[in-house]
Chain A
Amino acid sequence: MKLYQMVVKDIIRRKRRVLFAIIGVIIGTMTVVGIFTIARAGEARMYEQLEKYGPNLTVIPAISNVDVNLGGDLSLGTLSVGENCIPEEKLPEIRRITDNAIREALGIEDEGDIATIAPKLYVNTEVKGVSVMVVGVEPKEESKIKTWWRIREGEYLERADQALVGAVTAELLALNEGDTIALNGTDVTVAGILEETGSNEDYQVFVPLATLQGAFNKEGLISSMDIRALCNACPVIMIADSINNDIPGVRAIAVKQIASAEMDMMGRINRFMLALAGITLAVGLFGVGNTMMRSVNERTKDIGIMRAVGASRNQIMRAFLYEAIIIGVLGGIFGYVAGTLLAFGLGPLLFQISAISYVPQYLPLALGLAISVAVIATIYPAFRATRVKVADSFRSL
């Protein structure tokens, strides 16, 4: 038999007392794991929404007043289409500014294009006698930004003489795959029909940019461009500022600014919850410390006996620390399970997050936290235990 085996036996025999200490650890760990799990799910949802917003930046002419829709639910106000256009030759310069800023921010050496820049031309025209917003896009770039697009019927834009039709317009105009529509005299074939997105896109018709420019004699002109940096950490606000400063006649808007307010709120709630978790941990710490202190006091005589039969101070300390580690391990495991269950229970109530998932990497975190709490709480009582002298516990020898 080894010292730790004796400690284990002792713990099994003093189940109830040890259980109190474990519960103290569980409550603290549970709170932290629960909060972390909920916060993680909340953040994931937030990023998911950011993805839906599509671009990180939108560049529009300096004066504008027609509805511009960025996809999702996000409207950027109005933008005037017509004479107020951006010359296409500004695109390379905007790309240069954007890519340089990202390279600098992330320390990328690569010379190739980094950001996705999707130029657009908006033209209001009549199709089959109905006024429709036709959008000229670069098919490849557009698909990278409109990650939420799903094609209900047919396929995505492949050739110059094709059109992709929004769900509502397709229904209104009774358009099907293969139908031909005329845009100011230029015929295009319907290549595919989009699934409903719940946004303005449902009312729009998308054709390749060059086709639309040609049909309406707007060669070299675009109405706006969406820029998508490759990361969530990209310095979009900085990019927007440098575009605004360096390129006259355009206005760059960082979309993330809108989302960041929400992110901020989330961060604040997280910090509050973490403070709460810290307090719970501290309470757990005192709980374990108190139980341990009582255990030392109750076992003063036993400790004296152990000293009398050859235990060193070190061994007494170790015996209590083993006990603390066992309490920490059990508290950590159950705290993790309880915290995950707490997140599943509270997440939907607090943040309307239904997609909570358990996070395996929080198990080592929970264990580390629980063991630390138990060990820290035990250090002083264990130290007191090492000061017990043989003579103190039975003066009579």
Chain B
Amino acid sequence: MLEIKNVTKIYGEGETKVVALNNVSLRVDKGDFIAVMGPSGSGKSTLLNVIGGLDRLSNGEVTLEGKRIDNLDESAFVDIRRGKIAYVFQQYHLIPSLTALENVLLPLIFAETGGKAERALDILKRVGLEKRAKHKPSQLSGGEQQRVAIARALVNNPLLVLADEPTGNMDQETGGKIMHLFDQLNREGHSIIMVTHNPEIAKYAREIIVLRDGQVIDRINQRGGEQ
């Protein structure tokens, strides 16, 4: 489904040059749940940025369903964000003036498929927050906000969910619940790539990729996932 071929990303020039990704190749199939691990500066966030179209490659290519997406311009990438790739952020990034339901509706509004409140409510139900639908983000706990963000990511039925340290702002228990949700969603067929530095969190994934100095140094297959 997603192929990353010989991707290199270099920041800066000359003396300040930093090689964030060095000739990385990776294949993601439908139903995969990959955790990208590694110390700070290993390039794991850069990898996610490159897949998500937030950063340009220095070299190599990224293809999604056989089509290159690394060379798309801003406006062409809009279609990718509408239903192919969705993000879940460490900081949740909900719009504070909108309710939980409206935040989930947002992708449907922009996709102009007719913002169906029922669809958004169904997804909120799926993440267990239907009773919080009318609450503003400020009235929700961190775990609840992240569930809203996950619902928002899923509402357009994306091929792939990119999650950047989704439990980074949570205590262990809340983080565990979020990971449990990710695990369930993966079992329902959603493909997920998640960046984390926490081995406990990475255990929920089916495959762990370890990066160091911009290179893949290890791949751990844990088919069946944790538990």
Give A contacts to B, CB under 8 Å: 1-3, 6, 9-10, 13-14, 301-302, 304-313, 315, 389-391, 394, 396-397
Contacts and interface: CB of A to CB of B under 8 A. Distances in A.
Nearest to B105: A1
B111 A310 contact: yes
A1 B89 contact: no
Contacts of B49: 391, 397
Determine chain B's interface SS by DSSP, over half rule. mixed
B110 A308 contact: no
B52 interface: yes
Interface stretch (B63-71, B90-98, B126-134, B175-183): B90-98
Interface in B38-69: 45, 48-49, 52-55
19 contacts: A1-B115, A2-B109, A3-B110, A6-B98, A9-B98, A13-B97, A305-B94, A307-B81, A309-B106, A309-B107, A309-B152, A310-B156, A312-B78, A313-B74, A315-B110, A389-B74, A390-B53, A391-B55, A397-B48
Contact of A396 (B89, B94, B109): B89
Contacts of B102: 1, 6, 9
Lowest 4 A-B CB distances belong to which pairs?
Answer: A310-B82, A310-B110, A391-B54, A1-B115
Nearest to B163: A397
Contacts of A10: 97-98
Contacts of A14: 97
- The contact size tier of chain B is 35 or more
A396 B91 contact: yes
A379 to B, nearest CB: 19
Contacts of B106: 6, 306, 309-310
A309 B75 CA distance: 13
A306 B107 CA distance: 8
B86 interface: yes
A389 B74 CA distance: 8
Determine chain A's interface SS by DSSP, over half rule. helix
B144 interface: no
A73 to B, nearest CB: 66
Contacts of A3: 109-110
A123 B76 CA distance: 94
A394 B107 contact: no
B164 interface: yes
A396 B75 contact: no
B87 interface: yes
B18 interface: no
B220 interface: no
A303 to B, nearest CB: 10
Nearest to B152: A309
A5 to B, nearest CB: 8
Contacts of A306: 95, 106, 110
Contacts of A312: 75, 78, 110
Contacts of A311: 78, 110
